[in-house]
Structure 1
Amino acid sequence: MDKFEMYIQIRGLVNQRYSVSAIARKLKISRNTVYKYLKKSPDEMAEWTASTMIRTKKLDIHKELILNWLRKYPDISAAQVYDWLKEKFPSFKVGESTVRNYVKEIREKFSIPKEAQKRNYEAIPDPPMGEQIQADFGFVTVRNKVGKPVKLMFIVFVLAHSRYKYVWFQNRPFTTKDVVVAHKKAFIAFGGVSKEILYDQDRLLVVSENEGDLLLTEEFQQFVNEVKFKVVLCRKADPESKGRVENAVGFIKKNFVQHRVFHNIDSWNEQCQHWLSRTGNGKINNGTKRRPTDVFLLEKQHMRQVSLLNHNSNTSITRSVRKDNTVLFLSNRYTVPLGTYQKHPEVSTMRNKENKLIIYVKETGEVLASHSISPDKGQLIRNTSHQRDRSKGLKELMDDVGSYFTNGEMIQMYFQELRNRYPRYLRDQLSIIKKCIDVSSVEVLNDTLSLCMERQLFSANDFQDVVQLLKRQRQVNMNNPSAIAESKPTSADVEELPLLEAEAKQRPLDQYVAIMEGIK
């Protein structure tokens, strides 16, 4: 209802001797609003109403950005708009309710409706602090920076009392080993483990369930025995029994994942941890009316401390990771994945019953490498998965250089010859050609390639010399138009390339004088 129209109605009801309370009930407004309107004369009301139409708002500076988001993603929620604004502008101080009202006004003004999807759950009393963690899996399809779809899987852990959350994403399906590692990451984030953990009947965890009797997968059962917590399963088709984690899955999909561009899995998980601190655990929960972060400070004290090592600490030894991502053991070097030196400068090692060296992260128990122990000395024991994939970067460089030539088949033949003649220096050869590309026209490059193939000059240095020859001849032709007909270099010109490049070295005159004085 228009403000001035409401003012007229209030005045009319006053004339009919309605009380302020009766007017407020009838128009469904507060009594303070009625009093505020009654204090104004018709002229004052008209002036005030007109001023509200042109009054600027705090979010007007972000209007185009918000409008662009709403048009691009019509189903985006006001809560996600609020989170994106905080992410984009760290100093953003506007309240969430203000953002919600502003988004609502823009939707109405520009006719951008939103279809709300709601899911109802049965209310269940909160368990005591430290009593229960709820866990669940989810998967989403996102887009990378070129618009290609990428499937991501994630696992969510929620402390049932405080609603404090932990999330871990993967760009491949989870295995039982991955699930165990994710549990350990969550326990570290929570500072301990609860008495019980509630799950769906997932095949990675449960083989079968018969009226409460559980048969867990072997690897997961070993983990449960080690950490000592109770496994509780939801009944089939009863998602309400773990409504807290179900809500968390939906919240993650709609507020964090939706419309976010994927770059790589590491940066994605890093963004997610920032989101958890900022919004996932930092925003007031609708059910508890408190921030999960605040309640977690109390619940954390009720969590049971656990050792997250998979191995006997009596046989475990801490070792330093060398700069070349190897670990020294009995005078041999054993590789670990690239980047371990930066992430985990110190790791733990143990020798198991199968005479294998297990290298793992002490804090989480995550296994980094497993090697058969060599009886020799001074050997490098390497896992092929730990080596850098150099072929990918080389192929990208060849594709990049080859894209500047018109005859794709001929340039690939030339690359193959370079590969055969300079297998260890192919990258250097391609780099020289790349430098020629940066300072030459397409015509010069194509003519150079044809001449090199014709004269079998399979060297990047020869390629560079031919480029320089062609560029010199073209410069001469520009200065002497009558010589254009003879502009194409001949085989004799190519054969004389070393001679053309050679320059006689000349000594300064004073050196000759010094020599003559010495003879005297």
Structure 2
Amino acid sequence: MPFYTFFTCQIHRKADPESKGKIENVVGFVKHNFAKHRVFHNIDSWNEQGWEWLNRTGNYKIHNTTKKRPVEVFLLEKQHLRPISKEIGISNNYENSIARSVHKDNTIRYQSNRYSLPLGTFNKYEKVCIKETESKELIIYIADTGEIMAKHLIPEGKGILVKDRKHSRDRTKGIDAFIDTVAQKFEEREMAYQYLDKVKEKYPRYIKDQLHIILRETKANTSEILTAALKECVKRKLFSATDFSDIVAYIKRQRRVPDTDITNEEIKPLNSLSGWVLETETHKRNIDSYTVILEGESS
């Protein structure tokens, strides 16, 4: 007898209609219509009463929304079921990979807690993988590429939203616009874009500070100096704002033109004293004069 499947089994939190609202009413119907106030003596009695209730009420009663009996609808849907490709195995290797669905609020659920993901993850990925480390850290990554999307410390309690404040900010648009602004200051714009992308790749967390420093240099220097500095940085693979500033300063020192010529003119004193005063020597008294005076006082 072939196996048929018509649903995908997923584990969700209890009483969470946002993630499994399609079956919330069904569970409530079984609880409050069949299970409530029903007495049974053993599991066999419970199963027997359950099948009788399904044939009598659960699958036979007309649904208020569809206005159809579930038993009749299932007979029609059964014709479209496809056999599964292989037997279902209940043993999964959860140590290697644990998949979690990405919810529309860009979070995943793990052990009764919610963990945030970067803004826009829900629109890109349906599922991500997680791994718990020995240091109680939850690593969330993409299964295909292995790219780490988030890291969170696992809290002690339950029902906690573990959120990284950076995940709620859409920084991509602002940084890209900032890069455009800085690149437009260079004559070699294509080279400038490539250089700034390298700076962003090297300093992703401090890219705004890097761009501010480079923008300051573009305002204080000519296009000729900026182009020479840009080419030198690319040639030497110096992908940082401080290196760019140092190269700009080096080029300016090499090309500096003195403002005034240094001559061998006589340096005049800053005060108004005459020359003969400066040449006057101080009178020096012999040490014996002081000796005589001191001996006379002691006597």
Report if TM-score (shorter chain) is over 0.5. no
Q: Specify the structure having the higher radius of gyration (Cα).
A: 2
How high is the TM-score relative to the length of structure 1? Answer: 0.19
How high is the TM-score relative to the length of structure 2? Answer: 0.32
Query: Which protein has the bigger helix share?
Result: 1
